[in-house]
Amino acid sequence: MTTHESAFDLSSESPSKIALRTLVRDRRSWVASTMLIIVVALTLFAPLYASLISKTDPFVSTINGTVVLDGVEVQVLQQSTEGLKLGVNPIGPTWKIGPYFLGADNQGRDVAARLLYGGTNTLLIGFAAAALTLIVATLVGVVAGYSGKIIDSVISRILDVIWAFPVYLLSISLSVVLLTSGFKWGPISLEAGSLYLPIIIIGLVYVPYVARPIRGQVLTLREREFVKAAIGGGAKNSTIIFREILPNVIPSVLVFIPLMVSLAMLTESALSFLSIGVQPPDASWGTIIKDGLGLLYTRPMVALTPGLFIVITAVALNLLGDAVRDALDPKARLRGAF
């Protein structure tokens, strides 16, 4: 405890107003938000880019296609001049605004265009899976923390078992099973290539990661005076949960948001890299890295650039997450950070 905190009457503002102001004044939130906006804008720009700049369909192989470079018509996939001269060599980056800015992949597709389209899927899955995780985990955590011993034990055991499964193993297992055969259960039918599958798998796999801390927080809150007072006053459980418990749990959930999006994104790209995430013909940054493996030593841009995008997005999300966490932590204010 700092020696002077009791003397200062800083409580005249609501905690959310203070948090918002701290967040706005934190340089990190601006840097991170800018980076994220740029990345999202670029991916949204994908269709325009494909039609205006790259002028090829990024989902169609153009093995025999040609392109005009410096006035000369050139084959997109050329005979390899290296090694045994057996393979084909896609053209490299032109570094000019136009078709094949970053070169072509081994099916003649425009890498830059695929990159932007792929970003849409990666970001979509990242955000959707994170949303799923947070909603389910908050529900589960609040129910477990607030309910009686039996329900809590059952839920906690289930969470323990899921969490004892290393995240990657569980998601890989589920993906291997579901992504080749699809999922059919009563009225619910998801095809093998559906994007819903990675979203649901990644979303559920991370539930224990969030649910346990929330459950812990709810357990502590339940013992606090203001909750006991509400119970003593005869308030219904639902009222207590919505009025007293949830508002205190929301800040923790907010801190989790950027972190979970980043984790979900990284997990999706890993699964796609292993061919059990996003399925062709859809693309994501992970699949493009996988596609680029065969060309790693000749046309490294194919594998390099999606990874760079992942890193940039993840860095931005982590920065934002740090800023949000510091803004919502009341003690951080008093550490001389007026």
How many beta carbons lie within 10 A of that of residue 128, not counting itself? 20
Q: Indicate which single residue of 289, 323, 324, 328 sits in contact with another protein (rule: CB under 8 A).
A: 289
Tell me how far apart the alpha carbons of residues 39 and 174 are, in angstroms, rounded to a whole number. 30
- Closest-CA residue to 107 (of 81, 88, 80, 84): 88
Tell me how far apart the alpha carbons of residues 292 and 289 are, in angstroms, rounded to a whole number. 5
Q: What would the DSSP string read from start to end of 253-293? A: HHHHHHHHHHHHHHHHHHHHHTTSSSPTTS--HHHHHHHHH
36 touches another protein (CB under 8 A): no
Residues of span 301-320 touching another protein by CB under 8 A: 303-304, 306-307, 310-311, 314-315, 318-319
Q: Indicate which single residue of 67, 178, 283, 323 sits in contact with another protein (rule: CB under 8 A).
A: 178
Tell me how far apart the alpha carbons of residues 93 and 49 are, in angstroms, rounded to a whole number. 16
2 touches another protein (CB under 8 A): yes
Residues of span 3-22 touching another protein by CB under 8 A: 3-4, 6-10
184 touches another protein (CB under 8 A): yes
Q: Indicate which single residue of 78, 180, 220, 237 sits in contact with another protein (rule: CB under 8 A).
A: 180
Q: Which amino acid is at 210?
A: V
Give me the least distance between CB of 96 and another protein, in Å please. Answer: 24
Q: Indicate which single residue of 228, 239, 296, 330 sits in contact with another protein (rule: CB under 8 A).
A: 296
41 touches another protein (CB under 8 A): no
Tell me how far apart the alpha carbons of residues 219 and 291 are, in angstroms, rounded to a whole number. 48
Q: Indicate which single residue of 161, 224, 239, 280 sits in contact with another protein (rule: CB under 8 A).
A: 161
Segment near another protein (CB under 8 A), from 40-48, 70-78, 172-180, 202-210? 172-180
Strand partners, 189: 184
State how far the alpha carbon of 93 is from the alpha carbons of 166, 194, 290, in Å: 39, 32, 18
Residues of span 118-157 touching another protein by CB under 8 A: 157
166 touches another protein (CB under 8 A): yes
336 touches another protein (CB under 8 A): yes
**CB nearer to another protein: pick between 24 and 296:** 296
Helix (H) or strand (E) holding 88: strand 88-90
Q: Indicate which single residue of 66, 181, 237, 239 sits in contact with another protein (rule: CB under 8 A).
A: 181
Q: Which amino acid is at 31?
A: V
Tell me how far apart the alpha carbons of residues 45 and 217 are, in angstroms, rounded to a whole number. 42
Angle at alpha carbon of residue 136, lines to 242 and 201, rounded to 5°: 170
Q: Indicate which single residue of 15, 47, 182, 330 sits in contact with another protein (rule: CB under 8 A).
A: 182
DSSP code, position 54: I
Angle at alpha carbon of residue 250, lines to 244 and 253, rounded to 5°: 145
Residues of span 255-274 touching another protein by CB under 8 A: 262, 266, 269-270, 273-274
**CB nearer to another protein: pick between 256 and 273:** 273
Chain Cα centroid distance, residue 212: 20
Chain Cα centroid distance, residue 201: 13
Give me the least distance between CB of 280 and another protein, in Å please. Answer: 16
Size of the site for another protein (CB under 8 A): 56
Positions in the binding site for another protein (CB under 8 A): 1-4, 6-10, 157, 160-161, 164-169, 172-174, 176-178, 180-185, 262, 266, 269-270, 273-274, 289, 293, 296-297, 300, 303-304, 306-307, 310-311, 314-315, 318-319, 322, 331, 335-336, 338
